[in-house]
Amino acid sequence: MNNFSKLLSLVTLLSLLTVSCSKSIRIGNGLNHYGPLTTVNGAITIGNECTVTGNSRTVNGSITVGDNSDVGELQTTNGSIQVGSNTSVNGGVITINGVIVCNLGSQVDGTLSTINGSITLIGTSVKGNLKTINGHIKLARGSKVQGDIVMRSRSDSSNIKQPLVIQLSGSSVVEGDIINNDDRLDVQVILTDDSKVLGEIKNAKVQRH
């Protein structure tokens, strides 16, 4: 192959990679994918009863995982992340501008993290921490967080007090602490239905119902 042919092949390959990075990715029900799933301007959808051995990452797009699947870390910048029922996530669940929802019977081995978005766990077990800056947090139906819930400090200069609610219901449990690291947040922890925090609650008000 001469140099021109090699260059043409390289240009063609780069063009294909650029197009693929701008498309949405879909893994159909019952299919396996060995390796990562990566896109830039597209959503990632993983069906029911799927296995994805690598991490799933996008910049401008949502990530959706179906029921009874086994996947790697889920990460997006501008998009929501939704995990179905009885699904295992082998890593963290991370977004900056988007909500995180994990459904009944699912397990997350890493940390759940968001900046501008809420976190909702429904009957979900999390081995790591829950981290947020501006998002409300809800644990329901016997959800369990083995680590801490941490409200990180904001980088802006505003002195306006902002409310943030952490609600535990349905006998949900936080085994670690609830820590508010930003005095500009008015954090309220609401505990109902025998839910409890086994660690300390720092810089937050507690309501028990």
Burial, 134: exposed, middle or buried (Cβ in 10 Å; 0-12, 13-18, 19+)? middle
Residue 153, pLDDT score: 82
Residues 124 and 177 in one domain: yes
Task: Among 110, 136, 154, identify where a domain stops.
Answer: 110
203: left (phi over 0), alpha (psi -120 to 50) or beta: left
Domain range for 152 is 114-209
Task: Give the mean pLDDT of 77-106.
Answer: 97
Residues 45 and 75 in one domain: yes
For 62-115, give the secondary structure using H, E and C. CEEECCCCEEEEEEECECCEEECCCCEEEEEEECCECCEEECCCCEECCCEECC
pLDDT per position as a tens digit, 175-201: 999 999 999 899 999 999 999 999 999
Residue 88 corresponds to which amino acid? S
Residues 104 and 145 in one domain: no
- On whether the pTM is more than 0.75, the answer is yes
Instruction: Collapse the DSSP code of 4 into the 3-class scheme (helix H, G, I; strand E, B; otherwise coil) and give the result.
Output: helix
Mean pLDDT, the chain, integer: 90
Task: Report how many domains make up the chain.
Answer: 2
Residue 156, pLDDT score: 74
Residue 5, pLDDT score: 42
- Residue 20: pLDDT above 80? no
Task: Give the mean pLDDT of 57-72.
Answer: 97
